[in-house]
Structure 1
């Protein structure tokens, strides 16, 4: 964030020197005005509409891609199978093993593709913001992962899961007053918060960087004089590079979030519980 702040200040100084009005990106962009049901608990803004659209698109893609499966797959079926195979082999089975992977594969697959779809909207023209860049959605996804973790542990070890999580075996009894609060905080409170913040902050920073670079390009090309216009080429190139980078980040954040969910479930299923 310090690097981003310094970049904003540097570009702002250049643009002010060129007598050009420049509005640095701010967090207000993540809270657009209401479109429907303003002032009610069901208020819908542009980001909510993007979420609705992308959810419907993901469902439509999988319905159309899997309704007429063939022994010799078509291109569309091959893409769907490649994506599903990636989640199954590189996340579910890798972390949970084949037996437990079957139980949690629907959850992990849904989580991966919905996060990927919501992340990628940050570079889609017309959307221009990640649908996962407001805290509510990452928190809901983290709570789903948290519930899956608790469910897996209670299902596999109903009598010992919570006890061993809070009172780890092998720890001297006199250390429990210190260890138990730490385990409670780290395992049952901090874990969903850090899981959601990891996704949220990457999407926020990515959006702000792109707005900064392309906003600077616009003002340098149209408002600056002389040699300052040449700086617009640099900010434009930076914006294009970061756009490609955001595609990678969108995929990596979906992968990391899903992998961590699988890891938490695996920890709950571990025999030492």
Structure 2
């Protein structure tokens, strides 16, 4: 929004990156840390409760739980392959549900903070995926075979390897994994920042502006409401993309062409 000067009330200072640096609640524990722990409790409790007494005709809770599991299972199967996907279903399921709940915290009243907007959490998840897919790649193909498959794909003219080999190495070991983390972080950071701008801007206009400008605050609140629905869609989509790419990386590491 920039600096907004009104007839009365002075200058509006828009929220920025400092809005994401929350002070500790107690000791060194911050709100995002508590939310991450809370998300684990919510996910665990939800699936325990909804699947404790499974029924042929499922309740709404059981149906939602089954759909989430089926999505995770199908994503793992499609990206990893029908022969080897089963051991990775729990990982894809955990990644999807964890990212989803922590993203949705950004639009839940009173909570209103997407923990994936703190870069440390996406990086931690990325490292789990990174170690998993490179670990199984080295185990499946051996150290030399795995690196050879990455850097020297078949059916490529040999002179091209001079350029292709370092590009593929950097892509698989640096660019792709960090893009996995940055993608969800950037989406949650930008979305939450925009919500803050319109919400706080509307509040500022309502409280501080002259009577002539106070009705303009409705535009700020209106945009905030619309953005909340858009942000909800993006939050779900980013959880899906994170799980999908994670499964894709695992499938690529296991591929026979290495």
Counterparts of 1:113-124 in structure 2, within 5 Å, are 113-124=97-108
What CA distance in whole angstroms lies between the structure 1 residues aligned with 2:32 and 2:220?
A: 26
Whether the 8 Å CA contact 1:22–1:216 is kept in 2: the answer is yes
Residue 49 (1) aligns with residue 27 (2): no
Structure 2 residue ranges without an equivalent (≥5)? none
28, 34, 53: which one aligns with 2:24: 34
Structure 1 residue 180 displacement after superposition: 2.4
1:96 is matched with 80
| CA deviation map 1:39-97 (0-9, x unaligned) | xxxx31111111111211111111112222233322221121121112222x2222223
Structure 1 residue ranges without an equivalent (≥5)? 1-7, 38-42
Q: Secondary structure of the residue that 1:257 maps to in structure 2?
A: helix
1:199 is matched with 184
Aligned length: 257
Structure 1 residue 17 displacement after superposition: 4.5
Whether the 8 Å CA contact 1:121–1:130 is kept in 2: the answer is yes
The CA RMSD over aligned residues, in Å, is 1.8
What CA distance in whole angstroms lies between the structure 1 residues aligned with 2:168 and 2:7?
A: 54
Q: Which deviates further from its counterpart, 60-69 or 147-156?
A: 147-156
Residue 181 (1) aligns with residue 171 (2): no
Residue 25 (1) aligns with residue 9 (2): no
What CA distance in whole angstroms lies between the structure 1 residues aligned with 2:209 and 2:104?
A: 32
1:3 is matched with none
TM-score, normalised by the number of residues in structure 2 = 0.92
146, 155, 168: which one aligns with 2:130: 146
Q: Secondary structure of the residue that 2:84 maps to in structure 1?
A: helix
Structure 1 residue 271 displacement after superposition: 2.0
TM-score, normalised by the number of residues in structure 1 = 0.88
Residue 111 (1) aligns with residue 111 (2): no
